[in-house]
Amino acid sequence: MGNVYRFVEPVVLLLLKKKGRSYGYDLSSDLQDFALTDAEIERAALYRTLRQLEGNGNVRSEWETDKAGPARRVYRLTAKGERHLEEWATVLDNLSKSMARFVKDTRATLRK
Amino acid sequence: MGNVYRFVEPVVLLLLKKKGRSYGYDLSSDLQDFALTDAEIERAALYRTLRQLEGNGNVRSEWETDKAGPARRVYRLTAKGERHLEEWATVLDNLSKSMARFVKDTRATLRK
DNA sequence: TTCCAATAGATGCAGAAATCATCTATTTCG
DNA sequence: CGAAATAGATGATTTCTGCATCTATTGGAA
């Protein structure tokens, strides 16, 4: 089960919406709490997802150098990214319902 | 979005449980009706999934040559396959619920 | 002051998986 | 006869994943 299956993208979008602005290393701590599966999300996958989201215009980033420690690439959602999150909500709502139906059907079938 | 994401495996397992016995070409017609997403499931993916399920001992197959038309590789569930379907039901039940929570959270967050 | 751990971002690469086209063969039907 | 439907399958290219590894900055322990 890969990263698509782990739904890294929508979780990152939601976290950014909640936090307003954040950066990879910070996101990686909260990621697991909001994840849709308990499979671990690697940091490598997170960084790649963030750059990919930026490539699609769903987030924007800038370097933050005024804080202590190594420089941080700070991201925030764009308007497009917010719409993208809404779309994800629709997709996942449908998927959730269709899975629930599948489970019900499966259990009924197995009981017979 | 690949075949894992399309959840081809559990759908095939359920169909075989419902039908008792079936073969690739026959399954491919019903597959779309039971699929968890409306992304098309290719026949190539179906055949590969079936052989893979057989490799894992979840289904067994034999050639059926007495019917009209080209020979058919007819599959049925093994006991292991039935347990595997139960496991899938558990996984998808959890996933469905965690998606529902995610959607609720997302919509509440977006509304603010 | 030296060195380790934590923070922060990222890439390289082998192997796995997905996509898309293509192939073979059998049978039915106009 | 030849086209279409049935049936199963593979080859090749691209993409994705998993794991290891790399660079750099800073705080704090020894």
User: Residue A67: which CATH number?
Assistant: 1.10.10.10
CB contact under 8 Å between A102 and B11, yes or no, is yes
- Any domain includes B71: yes
**Stretch (H or E) spanning A91:** helix A79-111
Q: Which residues of A touch B (CB under 8 A)?
A: 1-2, 4-5, 10-11, 14, 17-18, 34, 36-37, 82, 85-86, 88-89, 92-93, 95-100, 102-103, 105-107, 109-110
Top-confidence residue, A79 or B6: A79
CB contact under 8 Å between B85 and A5, yes or no, is no
CA nearest to A34, candidates A90, A85, A84: A85
- Which residues lie below 8 Å from residue A4, measured CB to CB, with a gap of 6+? B1, B2, B4, B5
pLDDT value for B4? 64
- Tell me the one-letter amino acid at B36: L
pLDDT value for A80? 96
pLDDT value for B33? 87
**CA(A77)–C1'(D29) in Å?**
40
Give the angle A13-A54-B6 at the CA atoms, nearest 5°.
60
* Cα(A79)–Cα(A84) distance, integer angstroms: 9
- Tell me: the pLDDT tens digits for B40-73? 888 889 999 999 999 989 999 999 988 878 899 9
Owning domain of residue A56:
3-111
- Any domain includes B2: no
Q: Which residue has the tokens 């499979």?
A: A39
Name the band, by pLDDT with cuts 50, 70 and 90, for residue A111: very high
Q: Which of residues 12-51 of B touch strand C (CB under 7 A)?
A: 42, 44-45
- Tell me: the pLDDT tens digits for A12-21? 999 999 999 9
- The percent of residues in chain A predicted with pLDDT above 70, rounded, is 96
**Chain A residues within 8 A of B36 when measuring between CB atoms:** 95, 98-99, 102
- Any domain includes B1: no
What the block records as the tokens of A86 is 């809404």
What the block records as the tokens of A33 is 């709490």
- Tell me: the pLDDT tens digits for A67-78? 878 889 999 999
Which chain A residue lies closest to B83 (C-alpha atoms)?
A: A110
Number of domain units in chain B: 1
